[in-house]
Amino acid sequence: MISKFNILPNALFVVLLAVLVGSEQIKEEPLLLGLLILTEVYQLAVSALRPHRAQQAGDVTAIFFGLVLVWELLTVQFDVLDAFLFPTPERVLEIFRDDFPTIFKGLGSSLILLTSAYGLALATAIPLGLLIGWRRRIFNAVQPVSKIMSAVPPIVYIPYAIAILPTFQLASILVIFVGAFWPIFVSTLNATVQIDKTLIDSARMLRIKERRLLFEVILPSIMPQVLTGCSVGLIFGFILLASAEMIGATSGIGWYVKYYSDFGDYGKVIVGILFIGLVVTAVMAVFDRIQGHLLRWQAKYAEH
């Protein structure tokens, strides 16, 4: 047990406590203290219950504590940074608490845009990639076009999409769709073209119908590459979602950041940025779980 005890995060925790107790704000605002204590308890619990994860938990916590400490020292204790541009950690947590309903509602509208566009991208890019990759002639015809189209950074479509479509929602769905579509399509296409020919032969010996060949043999076999494309597509989707919202939305997480930067309310801007980071991390964690399940047949995802 002793060997699993991480010195650095615990030492930083003590230092942080000392700094906070010495400052005035701690009495008015216990939020930061609460967050730090929660993190420390979590770190200690992981170290005690999951010894093999102890080192990583300790290191991550140490980095987090270190960042908070530097931030706290620069904004509160030494006050070297402009308070207008760099709000204190306590202030940020306060805004987060007070604005949570607004932010959460914004998240709702953002996720609706993202899921409809991303769902559309999945539903079109995968079947098209399979079919075109499988039909050599269409592939040869389509490849140059898709190379050029996929090379265009989708952000440049945003103003045009807003101009040609009646609502902002439709415009952002279109742009997010385009951003997510290409990585998924291209990875599906390339993997289909390069598929192991014996696998196809072994299916052909069964006199399999083309539809079943595509969806029951080729698709599962190229699933690793398809999922890599899907994860890139999802990240692109987030980037385009935020960009579109910053340009034309009246709600949503990207809008929140843009709106308050225009007012110079940088506390809210930081809250918005941190929140987006948390949301993307959470969504990617769900994605990784789904990926692990779909690829459970691969040695590296085997669950035991």
Binding part of the chain for other proteins, among 54-62, 117-125, 215-223, 231-239 by CB under 8 A, reads: 215-223
From CA 214, how far away is CA 232, in angstroms rounded?
23
Nearby residues of 36 by Cβ (< 8 Å), 6 or more positions away:
13, 16, 17, 20, 65, 68
Q: Does 205 bind other proteins (CB under 8 A)?
A: yes
Nearby residues of 254 by Cβ (< 8 Å), 6 or more positions away:
110, 241, 242, 243, 244, 245, 246, 276
Binding part of the chain for other proteins, among 60-68, 103-111, 166-174, 291-299 by CB under 8 A, reads: 291-299
The residue from 167, 202, 264, 289 that contacts other proteins (CB under 8 A) is 202
Q: Does 290 bind other proteins (CB under 8 A)?
A: no
Q: Does 169 bind other proteins (CB under 8 A)?
A: no
Residue placing its CB nearer to other proteins in the complex, 80 or 299:
299
Tell me how far CA of residue 236 lies from CA of 100, 195, 229, 243, 283, in angstroms: 26, 26, 10, 10, 13
Buried/exposed code over 248-273 (b: 16+ C-beta within 10 A; e: otherwise): bbebbbbbbbbbbeeeebbbbbbbbe
Q: Does 293 bind other proteins (CB under 8 A)?
A: no
Q: Does 24 bind other proteins (CB under 8 A)?
A: no
Q: Does 198 bind other proteins (CB under 8 A)?
A: yes
Q: Does 207 bind other proteins (CB under 8 A)?
A: yes
Q: Does 208 bind other proteins (CB under 8 A)?
A: yes
The owner of tokens 């789904």 is 290
Residue placing its CB nearer to other proteins in the complex, 263 or 297:
297
Among the listed residues 141, 245, 143, 121, the one whose alpha carbon sits nearest the alpha carbon of residue 189: 143
Q: Does 52 bind other proteins (CB under 8 A)?
A: no
Q: Does 302 bind other proteins (CB under 8 A)?
A: yes
Q: Does 28 bind other proteins (CB under 8 A)?
A: no
Residue placing its CB nearer to other proteins in the complex, 17 or 295:
295
Among the listed residues 139, 117, 141, the one whose alpha carbon sits nearest the alpha carbon of residue 130: 139
Per CB under 8 A, contacts with other proteins among 216-245 are 216-217, 220-221, 223
78 Rama class: left (phi>0) / alpha (psi -120 to 50) / beta? alpha
Give contact residues for other proteins (rule: CB under 8 A). 196, 198-199, 201-208, 212, 216-217, 220-221, 223, 296-299, 302
